[in-house]
Amino acid sequence: MMKMDELRTKTEIELRDLVIQLRRELMNLRFQRSTDQLTAVARFRQARREIARIKTIVRQKQQITV
């Protein structure tokens, strides 16, 4: 999990790439859950919250440039 300060220093493109990676991870976690191979149940919540944090920072950066 990245800290907010680390996320704020990244460019918008890097942040969007992170969101894509986290969405892929969520998809993989869903597959693991459906096949009863999931061991890290808490990772669902962490990934969703990280995506929300990143989207918030992207939105803040967009508002600053407008």
Q: Give the pLDDT mean for 48-64.
A: 93
- Where do the domains of the chain lie, and which CATH numbers do they carry? 4-65 (1.10.287)
Q: Give the pLDDT mean for 52-61.
A: 94
The beta-carbon contacts of 56-65 under 8 Å, at least 24 apart in sequence, are: 57/4, 57/7, 57/8, 57/15, 58/12, 58/15, 58/16, 61/12, 62/12
**Per-residue pLDDT reduced to its tens digit, 35-52:** 999 888 999 999 999 999
**Band of the pLDDT at 4, cuts 50, 70, 90?**
confident
Residue 28 has pLDDT above 90, yes or no: yes
For the chain, give the mean pLDDT.
Answer: 92
